Amino acid sequence: MRALCLACAAVLLLASGVQAAGADPRELFSSLEQGGYVLVFRHVATDDSQKDVYPFRFDDMTAQRQLSDKGREMARQMGAAIKKLEIPIGEVYTSRLNRAIETGKLLSGQDVKPVDALTDSSAASTSGMANPSGANAKAGAALRQLVDTAPRPGTNTLIITHKTNMADAFGKQAGDVQEGEAFVYKSAGSGPSTFAARIKAEDWPTQAAN
């Protein structure tokens, strides 16, 4: 019977796309309703025909890669699902780049708090590629500090950043993070948060439809 239960759980995990740390995906989403989690999102899909200009010009949208129409629609669907699932949102921290700010607003339906340290750390090197030291190490440490900061009681904290920053903070496990995917951490109240799951963008509307 135990083997059968474990097999069923594995099928459920694969079907949902949610990679959970020893938890039923349904239990994970139910737990999010109680608050106490920090969700680190990579921004949703962007227009690859646009390129960032270094150094960043945050008030010039033509000098930044923006969300694509597909990305905006996915973020709207994710935000509607979060609302339908009654997942409470507290603070929303984002990169200073518009693609992260726009993602945060569409997910949460509220104002966001742009943070320098969450801005794409690939700009920390002259080559435009991430590196494991210097400014990139500081960016990773800053993201981990936010992850370890307890959310307001009864809420979840959302963080919207970039693949390079997630790799700086979480290492190789973030190397394949997809656009719109979230790393979920359970707050300890004080001390390091505990990794709980990875949730892909499409899993939110799928769960809300169940």
d(CA 59, CA 111): 17
What pLDDT does residue 128 have?
Answer: 41
**Structure tokens given for 158:** 């959302």
Q: Which CATH number fits the domain that encloses residue 192?
A: 3.40.50.1240
Please answer whether residues 36 and 186 qualify as being in contact, where contact means their C-beta atoms are separated by less than 8 angstroms.
yes
Ranges of the chain with pLDDT below 50: 1-16, 22, 125-133
What pLDDT does residue 74 have?
Answer: 98
Give the pTM: 0.86
**Tens digits of residue pLDDT in 147-192:** 999 999 999 999 999 999 999 999 998 999 999 999 999 999 888 9
What pLDDT does residue 24 have?
Answer: 65
Please answer whether residues 173 and 186 qualify as being in contact, where contact means their C-beta atoms are separated by less than 8 angstroms.
no
Q: How many domains does the chain have?
A: 1
Q: How many CA within 13 A on the CB side of residue 146?
A: 31
3-state helix, strand, coil in the chain (%, to 5): 45, 15, 40
- Residue 133's domain comprises 2-209
* CB under 8 A, 24+ apart: contacts of 83-88: 83/109, 84/208, 85/29, 85/32, 85/33, 85/204, 85/207, 85/208, 86/33, 87/29, 87/32, 87/33, 87/156, 88/33, 88/35, 88/154, 88/155, 88/156
What pLDDT does residue 123 have?
Answer: 66
Instruction: Find the helix or strand (DSSP H, E) in which 103 lies.
Output: helix 98-108
**Tens digits of residue pLDDT in 194-209:** 999 999 999 999 999 9
Q: What is the largest CA-CA distance in the chain?
A: 60
